[in-house]
Amino acid sequence: MAPAENPSRERILERIRTALESAAPRRQPAGPPGARQIFPPVGDVLERFKAECKANLTEVIVTHGSEGSATAIQGVLASLPEGEIYVQDAPEFRSVAQAWPGRELRWSSEGGPREASQAALTLAEGLAAATGSILVSCSTGGRGASVVAPCHIVLARFEQLMPDLEAVLGYAHEKGIAAHNSFVGLITGTSRTADIQRVLVIGAHGPRRVVVVLQAGN
């Protein structure tokens, strides 16, 4: 936007610069100085990831090799109602899609998920063990993939499992995931609300079910 179209920009910046000529104090830590550990140690990343996912209602299926993952995905799909499945257009899914006969598939290369989608099937950019979180982006099925369908199935590999958010966000920054996607998102559990007298209800706007198929080996 040209400055002439937004004269307030310069006025605001001028006010900010004038305001910052006086320094504001920074509150000092209450305890002894030195680096303090904010979060407890993560420990075994797989065990921690599974424990956190259990707490946030994400299902985790650990598989060995692509065949094991295909079987696990097929099992989840079989438990879902009839209807279209939104699938990230990735070689991992193209190679096994023929194993889902009778399922109408909408590939991400055809556009975003439709309202009628029964599930979205995507890859992940990374996983954070300390919070049981999944990092997704436009490159893993797009913006709506993680939130439109009532079930989100995520295929991830063991190597993508990182200890915590610090590692995941550092990875997203350094690998250009944040720079090269118009959307990056973290998912930690199922969609939920407690806005009606504090009663927890799952599936407010997004998925009622999130499944991570965590694959070891090729």
Partner 1 sequence: MNSAPAQEFLRRAAERAADLTHRQMLRAGMDHYQANFAKGRGRFADWEAARQRCHEIKWEGVNHLDKYLLEFEARVKERGGRVFWAENSEEARNYVVNLAASRGVRRVVKSKSMVTEEIHLSPALEKAGMEVFETDLGEFIVQLRNEPPYHIVMPAMHLTHAQIAKLFHEKLSDVAGDDPVSLVAAARQALRRAFFSAEMGISGANFLVADSGLVAITTNEGNGRLCVSLPRIQVAVTGIEKVIPRLRDLAVLWPTLATAGTGQAITTYNTLVGGPRRPGEPDGPEEFHVILLDNGRSELLADAEQRDVLYCIRCGACLNTCPVFRAIGGHSYGTTYPGPIGSVLAPHLRGPEFAHLSYASSLCGACTDICPVKVDLHHHLLHNRRNAVNAGRGRFGERLGFKLWRWAMAGARRFELVGGVVRATLRALYALGLEGTALDPARAWTRNHAAPAIPRASFRKLWREKNGAR
Does 19 help bind partner 1 (rule: CB under 8 A)?
Answer: yes
In the bound state with partner 1, the residue whose beta carbon lies nearer, of 53 and 73, is 53
- Return the residue of 2, 4, 32, 40 that touches partner 1, per CB under 8 A: 40
81: which residues sit within 8 A by CB, 6+ positions away? 118
Provide the greatest CA pair distance for the chain: 69
Measured from the CB of residue 104, what is the shortest distance to partner 1 in angstroms? 17
> Rule CB under 8 A: which of 131-190 touch partner 1?
131, 133, 138, 141-148, 164-166, 168-170, 172-173, 178-179, 181-190
Size of the site for partner 1 (CB under 8 A): 83
In the sheet with 161-162, reading across from the earlier edge strand, the strands are: 133-137, 126-128, 161-162
Beta bridge partners of 58: 210
Nearest residue to 108 via CA among 83, 77, 85, 128:
85
Q: Is the dihedral of CA 162, 164, 168, 171 positive or negative?
A: negative
Nearer to partner 1, 45 or 72 (CB): 45
The distance from CA 59 to its chain's CA centroid, rounded to whole angstroms, is: 14
Sole binder of partner 1 in the list 30, 98, 102, 218 (CB under 8 A): 30
Site for partner 1 in 199-218 (CB under 8 A): 199, 201, 203-207
Q: Cβ-count burial of 98 within 10 angstroms (0-12 exposed, 13-18 middle, 19+ buried)?
A: exposed
Which of 63, 69, 108, 215 binds partner 1 (CB under 8 A)? It is 108
- Tell me which stretch binds partner 1 (CB under 8 A): 2-10, 66-74, 77-85, 95-103: 2-10
Minimum distance from CB of 49 to partner 1 (Å)? 13
